[in-house]
Amino acid sequence: MSTLPHFDYLTRILTSSVYDVAAETPLEPARSLSGRLNNTVLLKREDLQPVFSFKIRGAYNKMAALDAEERKRGVITASAGNHAQGVALSARKLGCEATIVMPETTPQIKVDAVRALGGKVVLKGTSYNDAYDHATELVAQSGLTYIPPFDDPDVIAGQGTIGMEIVRQHPQPVHAVFVPVGGGGLAAGIAAFIKHVRPEIKVIGVETRDACAMKKSIDAGERVELKDVGLFADGTAVKLVGEQTFALCRDLLDEIILVDTDDICAAVKDIYDDTRSITEPSGALALAGLKAYTAREGCTGQTLIAVNSGANMNFHRLRHVSERSELGEGNEGIFAVSIPEEPGSFLKFVDLLGNRSVTEFNYRYGDAATAHIFVGIQTTGAADRAAIAAGLATAGFPATDLTDDETAKIHIRYMVGGRSPNVRHEHLVSFEFPERPGALRHFLSHIKSGWNITLFHYRNHGADYGRILVAIDVPPEDNAAFAAFLDSVGYPYEDQTGNAAYRLFLG
C-alpha cells in the first residue's frame, strides 16, 4: 500500500461516475506554440465539455452519489459561473430539481444559460458571499442538499478524472502538467491521481498575482483568506480555499506559479492561434503558467501539458484581451518620453526608433519647454525595452517604461494630456466598483461637501466589477477625513497619487 498521503483518492477517482454526462476530452498538440517554445505543448481541452467547463465532472460525481431521498428533495448551490451550469445539467440528467442562487449582479447571459439547462435561479444579494449565505438559509429551511463547488471529496474526485485521462492518453514521458487554481478542487484532484501513478510528473498550479489564496496559504502553512481578489480571471477569483483542497495541494503540488493579466491575455491568443477556440481567462491560466515556467527554467525538448479549464467567455471582454495580448507576448512596450517642445523633436524621436513600429502615440501641449508623450513601440521583450529606454536617454529623450504599470495601461493611456492649473491638492485613487445600479451614487454620497472630483475615468471590460480612476481635490487639513472616506466606501482601492504616469501626464 502506498505511503503517499491521500491514497484513498486514487480509488475515488477510478470509481467516479462522470461519463454519463461529461465527455473524455482530447489532449491536443499546440503546434505553433510548441515550435515557438521548443517544447511539445499539449492542451487538455476541458473547454469542449457540454457546459464548456470541467465543472460538470465534480458536480455530477457528487450528485450521482446522493441517495434517492436526497435527489427527491433536490439540490442547491451558490454560483455565478461554471459550477452553476454543471449542477443544473447534472440535475436534469439525474431527474432532480436544482436551485441555483446567484448574485443579482450576475450577467444575464449566465442566468439564461442556467435556466436553459433546467435550473431554478434565485437572485440574491450583490456578491457571491450574499448568494452563499442565502443558499445556506434555504438548505436549513427546505432540506435541499448543498453541492459545493470544490471542497468535497466527490467533487475533487470528479475533477481528478482529468488526471486519469491525461495519464491514459499520453503514456510517454511528461515533464509537467499545469493546472489553474481557484478553490483548489481541480488541482487537488489531478494531483491526487497523477502523483500516485506517475509520481515523476510535476503537477504545477497556476494562480493570478491578485488572487493567489492557495499559494499564500501553502506558504503560511495554513489557510489564508484574502481581503480582495482580482476579477479578470473570475473563474479562479477565490478569497479562501477549501480545507480538503488545501491539504491535497499542500502535499501534492510541486509548486504554484503566479501570472498577471497580460500573461493570460497572451495565452488566450495562443490557444486561439492553435485551435481557433476562445477560452475564458481562467481557462487560459494554466497555459500562461506553462509559458512562464519555460521562460524561467529555459527547458527545451520536454512534453508540457496545460489544462484548458473553460470557455465561458463574455464576448465584450475580447476587446480587452486583444489589447493586452501584445503586451503579454512582449511584442509591445509602453513608454512615457520627455522631448523638447521644439520643431523637429517628434521626427528626431521617430528616427531614433529606426524600423520599429509605433503602435500608439498620445500627446497634448503642456508647456513651452518640454512635451511628455505616451507611446507604444513594437518590441521583442524586456531586454529590448531596456535598450530602447537607454537609447532614448542617450539622445536626450528621458523615457520611463510603463509596460508593467497597470494604471497606465487601464486608464492613463486613454486620458493623456489633461492638466488643470486650478487643482492644487489632488489625490488620485483607483477603485473596483461592482457593476450594478446605484454603485456610483453610493460612492458619491460618501464624498464630503466641498471636495471636488477633478478626474474620473471608467471603462467596462465585460466583468462583474468595473475599474475606476478618480481624482479628488482635498485641502491638506482634510487629509485625515479623506483617509476615513476611502475606508468607508467599502470598495477595494489603491492610492495612485504617486503613480509615475499620472505625474507626467495628469498631475
Closest CA to 203 of 184, 224, 216: 184
CA-CA-CA-CA dihedral for 57, 62, 65, 71, to nearest 10: -110
Cell numbers at residue 276, please? 481557433
Q: Please state, in angstroms and rounded to a whole number, the distance separating the CA atoms of residues 498 and 500.
A: 6
Closest CA to 74 of 94, 59, 55: 94
Q: How many CB atoms lie within 10 A of CB 252?
A: 23
CA distances 193 to 5, 10, 163, 497, Å, are 11, 6, 6, 49
Cell 495554513 found at? 222
Q: Kind of pairing, strands 145-146 and 399-401? A: unpaired
- Check: CB of residue 407 under 8 Å from CB of residue 445: no
The long-range contacts involving 132-139, CB below 8 angstroms and separated by at least 24 positions, are: 132/78, 132/101, 134/78, 134/101, 135/76, 135/77, 135/78, 135/99, 135/101, 138/76, 138/99, 138/101, 139/76
Closest CA to 63 of 162, 149, 182, 183: 149
Beta strands in 460-496 (DSSP E): 465-473, 493-495
Q: What angle do CA 102, 106, 108 make, to 5 degrees?
A: 115
Closest CA to 157 of 186, 189, 180: 189
Q: Please state, in angstroms and rounded to a whole number, the distance separating the CA atoms of residues 131 and 114.
A: 15
What is the identity of the amino acid at 111? V
Read off the DSSP letter of residue 39: S
Q: Kind of pairing, strands 370-378 and 332-340? A: antiparallel
Q: Please state, in angstroms and rounded to a whole number, the distance separating the CA atoms of residues 83 and 234.
A: 12
Read off the DSSP letter of residue 332: E
DSSP string, 87-117: HHHHHHHHT--EEEEE-TTS-HHHHHHHHHT
- Measured in degrees and rounded to the nearest 5, phi and psi for residue 102 equal -125, 145
Closest CA to 120 of 83, 57, 68, 75: 75
Read off the DSSP letter of residue 78: E
Active site residues: 55, 309
